Amino acid sequence: MKHISIIKYLLPGMLTIAACTDLDEKDLLYDNVRSDDFYKTPEEFASAVGAAYTNLYNLGGNNHMIPLNEVTTDEVVVPTRGADWGDGGHWVRLQQHTYVPTDPTPNNAWNMLYAGVATCNRVMAQLEEKATDTVLAATFISELRAVRAVYYYWLLDMFGNVPLSIDFSITEPLPNSSRQEVYDFVEQELLENAPRLPRNGPGDGPYYGRVNYYTCYAVLAKLYLNAQVYTGTAQWDKALAACDTILNSTVGYMLSPDYREIFSRNNTGNPEIIWAIPSDAVYATGFNLSMMTLHPLNQSTYNMSAQPWNGFATIQEFYQSYIDPVQNPGPQGRVIGTSPAGDSVTGTLDNRLSNFLVGPQFDAAGNRLLDGGADATDPNGPPLTFTPYINELQPNAWRQAGARIGKYEFYSGMTADLDNDLVVFRYADVMLMKAEALARKNGNWNDAVALALVNQIRTVHGGVTPFTTMDADKFLAERGREMFIESMRRQDLIRFGKYNSAWRFHPPDASTHVNIFPIPADQINANPNLDQNPGY
């Protein structure tokens, strides 16, 4: 647990409020406040606005954003390991793009995002009705409108045609709005409200973890970069301007000299982080990556209080993309990725291989872990060894198969919930967005500025040789190496026309309707005004 709790980050001043109003921490975290005697001080305003953020704690779990944006791609796979992770074929359907309206994860994401929208609408209505300081209320309403726009950006990206619920007094079910209408709404809300928000930089300040001016422009950059997908009209100049708003700022954002520090247990205030969800094993739970990816025996590796679930792994070819097989392996070179098929790779190692856990596994005392439940056909046998090779997607993937996700620091004494802040937007991503927008605008992937931006990241974070030339495929691969497991890959593959291509465990898609998810059956059953997305 952090020495300074989540309460400081999202809900500043609440401990003082608790002393005045006799509210406990649970009341404050979930905004169970009596609005008749509330909204009188800046601290009370902030505590109420904090409720709009609490749904975001779910972003780091195994049933919302990460599965939809990663398990559907060539980065992450959840093999069916005998009786584990079958779940009615849901994880296989995500990987093979055969998802259906009754699948649980799209419904979970829909509910989480619309719960956030509803909270924003509710608190705004309370502020407008109850607040006596209308000037102060206006500032917090601008923040809530920006947070709501972020929720709608994700809905726009994943579901396309969704209802625009912006008035808390309207209770009847709403019909779908078009993707263009939702796009226009998100753009307008961010542009209108960003100038009213603080322009603070990285650090452990009272605004850390909240949407600020630069968060708005990070979302705008994403919106414009994907505008051609969303609306049919490219917006490269707008994307460049949004990126430059962040890159040219003087508040302290910069490329972190240490890639691993961005994702460490104590990553609060890292200069690369534009927006993160402050996670805490006690006050702000929900970031479950260690549980999602580690083997049950790794409980003794990290002295964990809970036994991991042995699910999420990396597809072999993606893991191997971090090795340059053309260059001489040199002193760092080693053979990796060995499989019964003999597909091994040697090469120069990218420092960002820290994104993964491979090889023999040990307990905290240094003793070799032995998996008595290992499949008899697994050539590695009982000694627990994570191998990049995965023998099959289903039904009997080996318990040890798959490089595991180690991007965020795992530490001794972990609970089921990590202390690491979950990074949402960061500086390197903005650099890559600018490079891509320049290349696409100029029709030249070897644009000098674009190449320099990519090579700066390769040098600082990867420690590998800069590119001398670049094309779309090389850029996409580099973006994948840098942004692994940050819920960007699905969006990136769609933008580059690769989401419907074949990769290991994923045959090519016959139709691009899978580029947005089905509107969940539960939502259509509850709202007769909703129309299903085409193709489902």
Segment (H or E) for 146: helix 134-159
In contact, 123 and 533? CB cutoff 8 Å: no
Rounded CA gap, 307 and 395, in Å? 22
pLDDT tens digit sequence for 144-200: 999 999 999 999 999 999 999 998 888 889 999 999 999 999 999 999 999 999 999
**Which residues 6+ apart lie within 8 Å of 278 measured at CB?**
6, 9, 10, 208, 209, 268, 284, 421
pLDDT at 224: 99
pLDDT tens digit sequence for 20-67: 323 333 333 334 445 556 777 778 888 889 999 999 999 999 989 999
Instruction: Indicate whether 329 pLDDT > 60.
Output: no
Instruction: Specify the pTM.
Output: 0.91
Instruction: Indicate whether 9 pLDDT > 90.
Output: no
Average pLDDT of the chain, as a whole number: 89
**What beta strand segments (E) does 51-208 contain?**
76-77
CA-wise closest residue to 140 among 128, 152, 154: 128
The amino acid at residue 82 is G
Kind of pairing between the strands at 313-314 and 403-405: antiparallel
What's 266's DSSP letter?
T
Share of the chain above pLDDT 90, in %: 79
Q: Which residue, chain included where needed, has tokens 């605008």?
A: 441
> What does the DSSP assignment read for 67-93?
IIIIITTTSEE---BTTBT-GGGHHHH
For residue 397, the cross-strand partners are: none
Rounded CA gap, 275 and 284, in Å? 16
CATH number of 42-282+423-498: 1.25.40.390
Rounded CA gap, 51 and 37, in Å? 17
Rounded CA gap, 222 and 232, in Å? 15
pLDDT tens digit sequence for 288-320: 999 999 999 999 999 999 999 999 999 999 999
pLDDT at 349: 84
**Residue ranges per domain, the chain?**
42-282+423-498, 288-416
Question: What are the two backbone dihedrals, phi and then psi, of residue 263, each rounded to the nearest 5 degrees?
Answer: -120, 20
CA-wise closest residue to 410 among 322, 297, 298: 298
Instruction: Indicate whether 353 pLDDT > 90.
Output: yes
For residue 280, the cross-strand partners are: 284
